Amino acid sequence: MSAHPAPVAGAGAETPQHVAIIMDGNRRWAQARGLPVALGHRAGADAARRAIEAAIRGGVSWLTLFAFSSENWSRPADEVQELTLLLRHYLRAEVNQLTKEGVRLRVIGDRTRFGEETQKAMLAAEEVTAGGQRLNLTMAISYGARAEILAAARAVAAAAQHGELDPAQLDEAAFERHLFTAGMPDPDLIIRTSGEQRISNFLLWQAAYAELIFQPVLWPDFGIEDFNAALAAYAARERRFGARTG
């Protein structure tokens, strides 16, 4: 069962409670300008800051950013190192501003693949921003939805094996408590930039009824106007949640 209030079939969409973004296009942005890929990722970090500002202005309560996928570990070692350094810098440099703006940060994904210093930076940022109530910001880092679902299935199996859970009584709500996103509402709207039209192993369970919007803009060029355009497109849709109409 979703953490959302029960949706009303046929209800028009207004402001989404939870927006998730697949931030795609950093490499192509850099390559189109003859720049090192690292500069594309740095420009992408600036776009993330604009997305946070746009979410706050737009009245969105939850924002999830797909920052680093589990598949990204297969990229060249120097690029992975740059992404890790940038992540650590972002966590440390932005934490005061996030706290000032009332943003609570959470990190989901497999943290164990990062070094101790980066893991400490993640935990510290979460602790410092824990009191934020204006926007719930989730960074999906070293994240893959299939791995998330598999880990949840293993946790459920272990609980059943130890007599802590009756498999016959397992429902969606109980299963969701084992996901990285436990306690979070499902995304109402998922945005992907760069023109690609797929969700690439992102929030597969949680995206069951999300509206999908694909924008041609490369992520480093993403601005408040792009975020607002996605909100406007969402508001114009009629969300049926699988119900029959007409």
Burial 10-39 (b: 16+ CB within 10 A, else e): eeebeebbbbbbbbbbbbbbbeeeeeebbe
- DSSP for residue 93: H
Q: What share of the chain is helix, strand, coil (3-state, %, to 5)?
A: 45, 15, 40
Residue closest to 207 by CA, chosen among 155, 165, 145, 159: 145
| Catalytic-residue membership of 72 | yes
| Active-site residue, from 72, 110, 201, 221 | 72
**Residue located via tokens 């602790």:** 127
Strand segments (E) across the chain: 11-12, 18-22, 62-69, 103-108, 135-143, 189-192, 211-214, 238-239
Residue numbers in the known binding site for Mg(2+) are 24, 211
Q: Is 226 known to be catalytic?
A: no
Per DSSP, 109 falls in state S
Residues 6+ apart with CB under 8 A from 20: 63, 64, 65, 66, 187, 189, 190, 191, 202, 203, 207, 210
User: ∠ CA(108), CA(29), CA(104), 5° rounding?
Assistant: 25
Cite the annotated binding site by residue number. 24-29, 41, 69-71, 73, 75, 192, 198-200, 211
How many angstroms separate the first and last alpha carbons of the chain? 27
Q: Which two tokens stand for residue 244?
A: 């029959």
107 with 128: CB under 8 angstroms? no
Positions marked catalytic: 24, 72
